[in-house]
A and B are shown apart, each in its own frame.
Chain A
Amino acid sequence: MAVAEIKTTKPQTGFAEFWFYFSRNKGAVMGLVVFLIILFVAVFAAFVAPHSPSVQNRDVLLLPPGWTQGGQWTYLLGTDAVGRDILSRLIYGARFSLFIGLVVVTLSVISGVLVGLIAGYFRGRTDTIIMRVMDIILAFPSLLLALVLVAVLGPGLVNAMIAISLVNLPHFVRLTRAAVMSERTKDYVIASRVAGAGTMRLMFLTILPNCLAPLIVQATLAFSAAILDAAALGFLGMGAQPPTPEWGTMLAEAREFIQRAWWVVTFPGVAILVTVIAINLMGDGLRDALDPKLKRS
């Protein structure tokens, strides 16, 4: 810390300070790098993937990975039961997982922050009603509620994303509410109110920016949880539907081959695991960088 202060002549910007703490966490930087690679692969899937994710090649059914006996190097991770290249399907699958994570986090952050701000700012009866509704959502195991919601809405990726967003909502509401409640009686908020700031300005411009740190951390965790939940729903047959190369759906299709073709089962899971670990590592780094309580360590 002392070294950094001598080096910098002008005061550190918010981002520079953040990056200073974030980059000290090697795991977080590693997670960020892996995440950027996955993002790159997903965006440029059409150029990166060696084969089409949907073309079925009848000559190469259940081909083992390239380095094992009987494998072909053009099909690096082998093929599935209808002769599709697993690596290409995984690469295209990255699009779905990242997209799911992004949509779910956006939906649940925006609605959760809005509801949480209202509850924490206005308190009283509004707050009580909102918090009771959140308690109701939390009374169900999240996956079960998502499963039943998708059953009502109809199986599919979009409905799975809606269901997962709804299940995630209470965490953001509670977090925002708690942060707002601790901020709203502080001097700077009162000063702003005395100066004549309106309710909207107080809520969104004065209080909200000071509650962001825990929300960013929770959003990262929700991102990885959304990927896991969507994959779980896909695995149960209630998420993305075949032949979509979504990782969980691929695992569901592969289940019957666990005794004879290990690679069909193994690689989609590795893809999910690696992505989720990368995001969780980033989340840990963000928490350390944004939480002033831990900075002293």
Chain B
Amino acid sequence: MAGGSKTFGPSVFQRKKGLAPMLRFIFGRLAVLIPTFLGVSLIAFSFIRLLPGDPVMLMSGERVMAPERHTELMHQLGLDRPMYVQYFDYLGGLVTGDFGSSIVTKRPVLDDFMNLFPATLELSLCAIIVAVLLGIPAGVIAAVKRGTWLDQSLMGVALVGYSMPIFWWGLLLIIFFSGYLGWTPVSGRISMMYFFPQVTGFMLIDSLISGQAGAFKSAVSYLILPTVVLATIPLAVIARQTRSAMLEVLGEDYVRTARSKGLSPFRVIGVHALRNALIPVITTIGLQVGVLLAGAILTETIFSWPGIGKWMVDSVFKRDYQVVQGGLMLIAAMIMIINLIVDVLYGFINPRIRH
């Protein structure tokens, strides 16, 4: 790690060198995850049982059902067993990858999730890349030019982005770029003209592999507005966080030392200051994963983007509660895993928290 006064080298505090403390750290984190995962599964499990009526009545919908048929179905689905037996059964299913099946389409929830997830992942990755590539430089510039009009306008824009109702922002962009200028399509992932096999599930990559003329351009044009909408809040948050982290670091002694050694301002800011300022920023980026998924619900609904956000909203409205239950579970599990990865990465770049 660059600079001396703030960060001590790992060797000062760590008795053991190498991977052992890191592994212990990872296992400690995993141990905490297990009760959380059980709790999440309990919530997803009780969710269907909290609804008025029982699953059989929900499945039959409006149709009237004879009491005998109802009892028979309850028995068939194992719903007449004690709650805790049902819960352990459900848990057993989760471990073997059985997340239930859709009431409407009868397809396994896990299959649908796997099919739709790449669309959400592609959109979220593009959004976070845009947010990081624009947000970090904007924050650094604002911090270095502190108090100037440049700082004030950058932070003004960040405040607006941070306060943005993104569902409305999406509608505005559609009105202007799709309606008025006619530049971008309104909904979907790629023009109906193109057909090619799904290889990676990422439309940008698949369209390139297919080699069809114009396919990649079409995919980009469909991706651009949803990316802008989804990136808005993370971009603003990252810019604000980078600015305040930079301001804190720029006041440190080691930065002054670096300056007085005669290093170029670019080197002082870009290497000495930024490297340490990025530590809290990376946590912020990690925390944006949940924000991105919440944003994906709205963004995908507005742009009819066939991802898991739209899938969940549609399932809530179709009262397809098996999908909602399984989807909740899968999404929560994914967020927990991503948070774990962020924690581990954080441990790697910041040895101070590895105790």
Contacts and interface: CB of A to CB of B under 8 A. Distances in A.
A151 B331 CA distance: 18
Given A143-B294, A251-B167, A273-B165, A148 B39 contact: no
Interface string A261-297: 0100110110011001100110010000000000000
A117 B169 CA distance: 39
Given A236-B301, A265-B175, A276-B163, A140 B168 contact: no
Interface stretch (B90-98, B104-112, B312-320): B312-320
B165 A144 contact: no
B179 A258 contact: yes
Contact of B36 (A136, A147, A262): A136
B51 interface: yes
B316 A273 contact: no
Contact of A139 (B162, B179, B294, B335): B335
Contacts of A151: 316, 324
A90 to B, nearest CB: 13
Interface stretch (A3-11, A80-88, A227-235): A227-235
Contacts of A147: 297, 312-313, 316
Contact of A281 (B32, B36, B159, B324): B159
Interface residues of A, number: 41
A258 B171 contact: yes
A223 to B, nearest CB: 12
Contacts of B172: 265-266, 269
A259 interface: yes
A141 B331 contact: yes
B162 A280 contact: yes
Classify chain B's interface size.
35 or more
B114 interface: no
Contacts of A259: 175, 179
A269 B168 CA distance: 6
B290 A148 contact: no
Given A140-B332, A280-B163, A148 B324 contact: yes
B47 A133 contact: no
B35 interface: yes
A237 interface: yes
A248 B331 CA distance: 26
A269 B229 CA distance: 14
Contacts of A262: 175
Nearest to B146: A297
B336 interface: yes
A143 B43 contact: no
B134 interface: no
Nearest to B48: A152
A202 to B, nearest CB: 29
Given A144-B294, A273-B168, A152 B51 contact: yes
B164 interface: yes
A141 B163 contact: no
Contacts of B56: none
Contact of A136 (B43, B179, B312): B43
A132 interface: yes
A135 interface: yes
A179 B35 CA distance: 25
A141 B36 contact: no
Contact of B165 (A133, A141, A228, A258): A228
A277 B159 contact: yes
A148 B175 contact: no
Contacts of A273: 160, 163-165, 168
B50 interface: yes
B224 to A, nearest CB: 18
Contacts of B273: none
A224 interface: yes
Interface string A217-245: 00000001000100110011110000000
B296 to A, nearest CB: 8
Contact of A132 (B39, B298, B316): B39
A284 B35 CA distance: 36
Could you say which of B165, B312, B335 has the most chain A C-beta atoms within 10 Å of its C-beta?
Answer: B165
B328 A140 contact: yes
B188 to A, nearest CB: 17
B332 A232 contact: no
B190 interface: no
A139 B312 CA distance: 16
Contacts of A284: 159
A272 B168 contact: yes
A52 interface: no
Interface string A124-137: 00000000110110
Contacts of B36: 132, 135-136, 139
Interface string A69-86: 000000000000000000
12 contacts: A27-B159, A140-B40, A140-B331, A141-B290, A141-B293, A142-B290, A144-B331, A148-B316, A148-B328, A232-B167, A273-B163, A273-B165
The 6 A-B residue pairs with the shortest CB-CB distance in the complex, in nearest-first order:
A269-B168, A136-B39, A143-B294, A141-B294, A276-B163, A141-B293
Given A262-B175, A273-B160, 5 more contacts: A144-B328, A147-B313, A236-B301, A273-B168, A277-B163
